[in-house]
Chain A
Amino acid sequence: MTLQTNGATGGKWHARYPELGTGPVPIEPYISLEYFEKEREHIFRKVWLNVGRVEQIPEPGDYFVKDLAVCRTSVIIVRGHDGQVHAFHNMCSHRGNPVVWNAKGTCKMFTCRYHSWTYGLDGTLRHIPDEKNFYGIKKDAHGLTPVAVDTWEGFIFINVDPRPKETLREYLGAAGESFEGYPFAEMATGCSTWEVDVNANWKVCKDAFQEVYHIFSLHNKSTGAAFASTSNPYLNVHELALFGPHARISVPANLDWKPTPVEALARRYGMLALQKQGSSSQGMPSGVNPTASPDWSFSGLIYFPNMCLFVADGGIIMHTMWPLSENRTHWEARTYFPKAKTLAHRFSQEYSRATFVDGVLVEDGGTFEKTQSMLASGAKKQVILGDEELLIRHHHKVTEQFFNA
């Protein structure tokens, strides 16, 4: 079938991936409880999920707890005496109480608050109070239940599948490889996290970070003015590329942008997370500014299912969407900057964080609940995607593949 309309041949990006098609996408995945349960069983309980970074637990005994409602569990991530990162279901072997109630901390042993059963950092059961009153219990069979855990570039991933089908490295594939060597550890010495529960499907949130078509419009007063230029008014991107379930996006800057007075001051004393005027990718791995464009701003690893990791010359922005139900999401947004060396450098980072809060958390975040309320109306059954929204379409296709696997 030939369509007359401009762009019907597949556009710049869709032509590379004809298997995705170009038609509208159904709304059902955003509102259906049944669909959500399938996502839970076929995706979130099967794949590697990023739960944090190694800087959160630098020393033996450091731990943090991640509540993963979508996987129906809570997980302890701890650095053992052996220096290795371990993960366990946060569940006492006695009667199932969560062993750790704090969000993070440091300890030598985990002691359950319920009956004081005590576990080593390696998960082994060390002590049962009043042990003689139990019946033929074998302590070595009652350690904490381990969860598969691995790290990549300092990011900690877990997989609640008792027997993961792939290693983390295999799952990350070429998409991950292309970001290896970016100075993650150097950037991640300083971290700011914002968390909020929004009444929206997790994909409504993720979609906002999988395309930059909205920047000229939604962010017209802030980043829109800076990024969109006369030659590229809708901020068409340098590259969209697909790697199995994952994808990569690389976004241009506007070389003609004149910074505002305070932005210029901030820029003088440090790098901003989102460079509007273009920045250098010299020495960076191949996935960072893959087109080697002089007007490069930032590149992103869109990791299936729920993480968007954006790297720039001066810092990292990361979003993780944790589904709570088909219309509720725990959204985690993080910025990573190198530790500030001077007060002026701190001022510079504070400015960058302020613009991130306004432009991303407030402006993008402001659309989520509004969109969800209309998707649920039933007024329309499908949404429409343009060429620059390839990654949204890809997410739906990947999901179908997981469901049918």
Chain B
Amino acid sequence: MSKRQLPEGFQDLEPYLEWSLATDRERSIKRQTSPMTKITAFYQAVVPRMDEILAYLEQYPLEQVPADAQRLFYLTLSLAKIAPAVEMYGEPVPEGLDTLRLENIDIYPTRS
């Protein structure tokens, strides 16, 4: 048995860990390249648990998030990303400009 990846009580979501992605670009690509069946399965597995998940995540100060909670948090960001595909469009991405043409830039100072 491999090591637990998600916090206690959320291990049933581990089959969806492929959606636990740290960057916006990774989440965009995942959405764009996944078939609707896969997106919908992820949506249906996570939405019923969201009350619980968000309440759980609320307990951590932003500077001290343990790795397993961080993975769970990235799952919620992917849900935010794919929700419009399921709830509005019925297809992975709406017709229009190719999102991969968009350059996401951080204009605020980056201090080391």
- A interface residue numbers (CB < 8 A to B): 52, 55-59, 62, 64, 104, 106, 191-196, 198, 221-222, 225, 260-263, 265-266, 269, 334, 340-344, 346-347, 350-351, 353-355, 357-359, 361-368
* Interface contact A269-B105, CB-CB below 8 Å: no
* Interface contact B94-A222, CB-CB below 8 Å: yes
Considering the chains assembled together, what is the distance between the CA atoms of A263 and B79 in angstroms? 11
13 additional A-B pairs beyond A58-B109, A104-B107, A104-B109, beta carbons within 8 Å, are A194-B105, A195-B102, A265-B50, A342-B58, A343-B54, A347-B73, A347-B77, A350-B77, A354-B81, A354-B83, A358-B84, A362-B97, A367-B96
* Residue of A193, A221, A222, A362 ringed by the most chain B CB atoms within 10 A: A362
What would be 25 A-B contacts, judged by CB atoms less than 8 Å apart? Answer: A106-B109, A191-B108, A194-B105, A221-B88, A222-B94, A225-B88, A262-B79, A265-B50, A334-B107, A341-B62, A342-B62, A343-B62, A343-B73, A344-B55, A344-B57, A347-B54, A347-B76, A347-B77, A347-B79, A350-B76, A359-B84, A363-B96, A365-B96, A365-B97, A366-B94
Q: Is B95 an interface residue (CB 8 A)?
A: yes
- A104, A192, A344, A359: the one contacting B104 at CB < 8 Å is A192
Considering the chains assembled together, what is the distance between the CA atoms of A350 and B28 in angstroms? 12
Task: Give the interface SS of chain A, mostly helix, strand, loop or mixed.
Answer: helix
- A266, A334, A362: the one contacting B96 at CB < 8 Å is A362
Closest approach, in angstroms, between the C-beta of B84 and any C-beta of chain A?
Answer: 5
Q: Closest residue of chain B to A259, judged by CB?
A: B87
* Interface contact A357-B99, CB-CB below 8 Å: yes
Considering the chains assembled together, what is the distance between the CA atoms of A178 and B78 in angstroms? 39
* Interface contact B96-A366, CB-CB below 8 Å: yes
* Interface contact A261-B105, CB-CB below 8 Å: no
* Interface contact A260-B88, CB-CB below 8 Å: yes
A342: chain B residues within 8 A (beta carbon)? 57-58, 62
* Interface contact A262-B87, CB-CB below 8 Å: yes
Considering the chains assembled together, what is the distance between the CA atoms of A59 and B79 in angstroms? 37
* Interface contact B103-A55, CB-CB below 8 Å: no
A260: chain B residues within 8 A (beta carbon)? 83, 87-88
A56: chain B residues within 8 A (beta carbon)? 107-109
Considering the chains assembled together, what is the distance between the CA atoms of A195 and B103 in angstroms? 5
Considering the chains assembled together, what is the distance between the CA atoms of A346 and B73 in angstroms? 9
B69: chain A residues within 8 A (beta carbon)? 343
* Interface contact A222-B47, CB-CB below 8 Å: no
B95: chain A residues within 8 A (beta carbon)? 362-363, 366
Considering the chains assembled together, what is the distance between the CA atoms of A368 and B76 in angstroms? 32
Closest approach, in angstroms, between the C-beta of B112 and any C-beta of chain A?
Answer: 10
A364: chain B residues within 8 A (beta carbon)? 96
* Interface contact B108-A361, CB-CB below 8 Å: no
* Interface contact A195-B105, CB-CB below 8 Å: yes
Considering the chains assembled together, what is the distance between the CA atoms of A221 and B111 in angstroms? 41
A59: chain B residues within 8 A (beta carbon)? 109
B105: chain A residues within 8 A (beta carbon)? 193-195
Considering the chains assembled together, what is the distance between the CA atoms of A192 and B28 in angstroms? 15
Considering the chains assembled together, what is the distance between the CA atoms of A274 and B89 in angstroms? 18
* Interface contact A354-B102, CB-CB below 8 Å: no
Q: If the complex has contacts A58-B109, A196-B101, A358-B84, are A262 and B47 also in contact, measured as CB distance less than 8 A?
A: yes
Closest approach, in angstroms, between the C-beta of A309 and any C-beta of chain B?
Answer: 16
The 9 A-B pairs at the shortest CB distance, nearest first, are namely A366-B96, A365-B97, A262-B83, A351-B80, A343-B57, A362-B96, A260-B87, A350-B80, A344-B54
B80: chain A residues within 8 A (beta carbon)? 262, 266, 347, 350-351, 353-354
B107: chain A residues within 8 A (beta carbon)? 52, 56, 64, 104, 191, 193, 334
* Interface contact A265-B81, CB-CB below 8 Å: no
Closest approach, in angstroms, between the C-beta of B110 and any C-beta of chain A?
Answer: 8
Closest approach, in angstroms, between the C-beta of B75 and any C-beta of chain A?
Answer: 10
A198: chain B residues within 8 A (beta carbon)? 97
Q: Is B106 an interface residue (CB 8 A)?
A: yes
Closest approach, in angstroms, between the C-beta of A249 and any C-beta of chain B?
Answer: 23
Closest approach, in angstroms, between the C-beta of A184 and any C-beta of chain B?
Answer: 15
Closest approach, in angstroms, between the C-beta of A59 and any C-beta of chain B?
Answer: 8
B83: chain A residues within 8 A (beta carbon)? 260, 262-263, 351, 354
User: What does the 1/0 interface line of B56-69 toward A look like (CB < 8 Å)?
Assistant: 01101010010001
B58: chain A residues within 8 A (beta carbon)? 342-344
Considering the chains assembled together, what is the distance between the CA atoms of A221 and B86 in angstroms? 11
Considering the chains assembled together, what is the distance between the CA atoms of A155 and B60 in angstroms? 34
Considering the chains assembled together, what is the distance between the CA atoms of A175 and B58 in angstroms? 41
Q: Closest residue of chain B to A62, judged by CB?
A: B109
Considering the chains assembled together, what is the distance between the CA atoms of A362 and B99 in angstroms? 7
- B47, B96, B108: the one contacting A55 at CB < 8 Å is B108
* Interface contact B109-A57, CB-CB below 8 Å: yes
Considering the chains assembled together, what is the distance between the CA atoms of A265 and B34 in angstroms? 24
